[in-house]
Every structure is written in structure tokens, then in C-alpha cells.
Amino acid sequence: MSAAHDDFEDVKILDNFYQTSSFFPMPVVLVGTLAESGQTNLGPYSLCFPHVVSGQHAMMLIARGTSNTAANLRRTGVASLNFIPDDRAFLENCVILGFPGETTEEKMKNSVFTVLPSRREAPGAGPFPNIVAEAVQVFECTWDRSHPHETHGLEHHYLLRIERIVMHAKWRKALLEGGEFPRLPIDYGYRDSMHFWFTKGRKPWPVDLPRGHGVDAGTVMYQANRIDPEVTWQPEACAELAGVPRVFLKTVLTGCVDRAKAAGVKVITPEFLHQLRDKRAADRAAPLSLLAKLKQVFAKHDAPGTP
């Protein structure tokens, strides 16, 4: 079918339009929360997305207010978001765990998942829900109670602050060094009277980013925290470097990290970048942009790196 093919027809927009009136790709997240008994309740949720583009680390979970998950969140404020791999048996079990109306004790008898203790370290806080051993990665979260959760309908919106992300060693290595990425399932949105539909998480394939433009803060963050495991970058520091031409990014970041290590600094903050800038600016009469100054500071790394 050519891109210009024009036989679009209207589709009636029904309730739950993402399931009834469209094909809508979504994640499959097993949300772990604490039941009153202390047992971890696992409920499958697809309306679970990053809530901000950059800066804050938060997820939005949309759940019926009467679900076990919602009740547990309101009572305890803590959740584990378990991203299960693309495996038919796991997805079949998710659909079983997604049948509304059962108590935690009843439904968890049917769970095929193995649970492990939370990896959160919060002295004096807790308890926290268990995490799912089979998950590719887990976001351990705390509900931000300052964000309104009640809506006019049956659903609630829970803003979950990400406190910790844990990932199996193999996938963490792939995240840092590249290689084979995990296969994650996609809830296809569409649902008929008989089935949930999922589609295979196929082998991920790359598409080049446009060349020649300055990089955004997210790209800076991605690169920055891969330069050296002993030096981390605050998001605000990465934001300061947004706009750096792609060909200079690695050079600038490596220069900052080298200087941080030389100074015994483990976390690069905007203040640290300003110190680097000011050190150089002290010798200069005219004020320069941070980028120009950093480029001068790191002139010795003047061979453009491959981002």
C-alpha cells in the first residue's frame, strides 16, 4: 500500500477507545503493591507511561479506583513496576491476574511469577512490595500524594516517583555497552469479547538520529552517564549542555569527566560545570556562552569524537 493510499473511513469512538476503536501499542507492566496482609499483589497494567520528558523521574499509572492495586497504593504509597519479558506463558498468566474482583490471596495462588524482596534501601521506611524475578527491569516507586489522583470517572491517576531501577545484569550490560536488547511484549490495545491481543517484542533495530543538529538534554544524559561508571551526571547538568553539536558531545563530556575525576568529584552538577567555565573565564575579558567556554576548556580534546 502506498503512503498516499486514501481510503480512510470513520471509526466510531467508543468508551475505552484505545481497546475498542483503535490499535494502540502499550507496555505490559505487572504492578506489585502491598496487600493488607503484607502479601505482594500483582496486577497487570498497560496504561503506565513516563510522565515527564526530562528532569523528573516519574510514571503515570491509570487504574480503576476499586482495584487491589489502587487501594493498596492509597494505603501504602509504594509500588514495584515489573516489566515482564515477551513470553506467551507470562502473558497468559497476566490475563489471569488481570481478572477483576479477586482478593490478593485468591489471585496470587494462580501466579506463575517468582517474587524477590525489594532492593530499596530506605532505613526506617518500608515495607516495600516484592519484585518479580522474571522481569527484565523493575522501577521501584513511591506515590506522589500531592498530585490529584481522583478523576470524575471510575479511574484514578497515580503519579509514581521512581526511587530505584534494577535490571538483570545481562540487560544492564546491554544498556551500557550495547548488544542484544531484551524482548518486551506489546499490548496491542485492541480487545474483542474473547481476547486480549499482544504482539511480539521483535528484535530492536536502530534508526540513525538526524545529523548536524545540536543534541537535546536526553541525549546528553544518555551519553554522559556512559562515559565513566564512577562519575554520574545530574539531569540539570546535562540540560546545561543541550545544544552542543553532536560531533563535539563526546569530547565535551569526556573533558568534564576527566576534570571531575581529577578533582575527586563523583557527581557532576551544574555548579561544577560553572566552576569549570569560571576557571577559564577568569582569563577572559568578554563573557562567552557555556558551550564556547567548555569547548575552549577542552580544546586539547579537539579531535571530534563519534557520539
Q: Toward ligand FMN, which CB reaches closer, 41 or 219?
A: 41
| Rounded-to-integer distance, Cα 94 and Cα 242, Å | 40
Least distance in angstroms from the C-beta of 47 to ligand FMN: 3
- CA-CA distance, 226 to 177, in Å (whole number)? 8
CB 139 to ligand FMN: min, Å:
15
Nearer to ligand FMN, 63 or 81 (CB): 63
Indicate the residue among 19 and 223 with the shorter CB distance to ligand FMN: 19
Contact residues for ligand FMN (CB under 6 A)?
A: 28, 41, 43-47, 62-64, 67-69, 94-95, 98, 100, 187, 196
Grid coordinates of 247: 560531533
Q: Smaller CB distance to ligand FMN: residue 62 or 116? A: 62
Q: C-beta of 132: minimal distance to ligand FMN in Å?
A: 14
Shortest distance (Å) from residue 24 CB to ligand FMN: 11
Interaxial angle between packed helices 246-262 and 290-297, expressed in degrees from 0 to 180 and rounded to the nearest 10: 70
Question: Least distance to ligand FMN from the beta carbon of 30, Å?
Answer: 9
Distance CA(66)–CA(100), nearest Å, equals: 9
Contacts of 100 (CB under 8 A, 6+ apart): 64, 67
Q: Where are the alpha helices (DSSP H) in the chain?
A: 17-20, 68-76, 88-97, 104-108, 169-177, 217-224, 235-240, 246-262, 270-281, 290-297
- Closer of 69 and 223 to ligand FMN (Cβ): 69
